[in-house]
């Protein structure tokens, strides 16, 4: 395990979200999981002593390490505002978005970041989302209409606020993969559809404008589908957008059992 400490000169020159001298940064230890399966390297942790402010996010801390110590650290990120879902990882054991997690909220001077569970590791903190996106696509994540083309004179699909409320929260999914990472069933069944895919299936099944309900219910009603969920609820606990996949799965089961409307 390698440990790198920052010098006073580096601390003065570059501090995440630099502030006036009156705001003194504290020093924390950032432990970053390192691995490269394509090269057969053994997993390890590299430690870095870095300065942080009360508003410094975990992503900012990682990028600080890339800028000042080791540019080879692999991490996926984009928006930095919890909109794109790119920077999912385990932070002190919990699947979280690095850009949305402040170090001050973790109540620890040692921050450990690791790649998400239940995904193939590409390198370091970066995992492969191919299966997540493939499963999402299989759920047909779009409104299926009886009309294949928009013709002149076509009217708007009217929907009441009550109809919208049935599925609105599930449209907030950003496909970050945190729910799948937290799911204990996915840890034992790599072919399981997963909470993300099932929640998206419900989002469209519950949409009264959609005509593909039977088609989607058939997709989820299979051996690695909805009945493999044991309702641990961990998927809902980690969602950064307040989506409740566990509830969606229960509601979807209701449709399969004939209780849905």
Q: Check residue 5 and give its pLDDT.
A: 61
Dump pLDDT digits (tens) for 151-172.
Answer: 666 677 789 999 999 999 999 9
pLDDT: which is higher, 33 or 147 = 33
pLDDT beyond 90 at 15: no
Q: What pTM, to 2 d.p., does this model score?
A: 0.87
Mean pLDDT of the chain: 91
Tokens found for residue 31: 């432990």
Dump pLDDT digits (tens) for 124-140.
Answer: 999 999 999 999 999 99
Question: Rounded to an integer, what distance in angstroms lies between the CA atom of residue 59 and that of residue 65?
Answer: 10
Q: Which CATH number fits domain 2-127: 3.20.20.450, 3.40.462.20, 3.10.20.30, 3.40.50.620?
A: 3.10.20.30
Q: Check residue 130 and give its pLDDT.
A: 98
Domain residue extents for the chain: 2-127, 130-145+158-256
Dump pLDDT digits (tens) for 202-232.
Answer: 999 999 999 999 999 999 999 999 999 999 9
Q: Are 48 and 4 in contact (CB under 8 A)?
A: yes
Calculate what percentage of the chain has a pLDDT beyond 70: 87
pLDDT beyond 80 at 2: no
CB atoms within 10 A of CB 206: 22
Q: Check residue 43 and give its pLDDT.
A: 94
pLDDT beyond 80 at 176: yes
Q: Check residue 13 and give its pLDDT.
A: 46
Phi, psi of 21 (to 5 degrees): -60, -20
Q: Which of 50, 60, 40 is nearest to 3 (CA)?
A: 50
Q: Check residue 41 and give its pLDDT.
A: 86
Dump pLDDT digits (tens) for 27-81.
Answer: 999 999 999 999 988 899 999 999 999 999 999 999 999 999 999 999 999 999 9
CA atoms within 13 A on the CB side of 183: 31
Q: Check residue 56 and give its pLDDT.
A: 97
CATH code that applies to domain 130-145+158-256: 1.10.1060.10
């Amino acid at each position: 395990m390698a440990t790198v400490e920052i010098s006073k000169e580096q601390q003065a020159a570059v501090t995440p979200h630099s502030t006036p001298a009156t705001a003194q940064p504290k020093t924390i230890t950032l432990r970053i999981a390192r691995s490269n399966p394509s090269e057969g390297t053994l997993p390890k942790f590299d430690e870095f002593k870095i300065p942080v402010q009360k508003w410094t996010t975990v992503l900012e801390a990682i990028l600080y390490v890339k800028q000042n110590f080791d540019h080879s650290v692999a991490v996926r990120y984009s928006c930095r505002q919890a909109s794109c879902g790119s920077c999912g990882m385990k932070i002190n054991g919990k699947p979280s978005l690095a850009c949305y997690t402040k170090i001050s909220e973790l109540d620890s001077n040692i921050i450990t970041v690791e790649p998400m569970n239940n995904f193939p590791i590409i390198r370091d903190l970066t995992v492969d989302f191919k299966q997540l996106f493939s499963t999402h696509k299989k759920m047909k994540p779009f409104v299926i209409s009886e009309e294949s083309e928009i013709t002149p004179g076509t009217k708007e699909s009217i929907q009441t606020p009550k109809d919208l409320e049935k599925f609105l929260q599930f449209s907030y999914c950003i496909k970050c993969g945190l729910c799948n990472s937290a799911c204990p069933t996915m840890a034992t069944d790599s072919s399981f559809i997963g909470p993300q895919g099932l929640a998206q299936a419900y989002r469209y099944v519950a949409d009264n404008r959609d005509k593909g309900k039977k088609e989607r219910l058939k997709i989820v009603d299979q051996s690695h589908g909805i009945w493999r969920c044991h309702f641990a609820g961990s998927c809902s606990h980690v969602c950064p957008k307040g989506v409740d996949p566990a509830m969606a799965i229960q509601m979807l089961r209701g449709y399969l059992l004939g209780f849905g409307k």
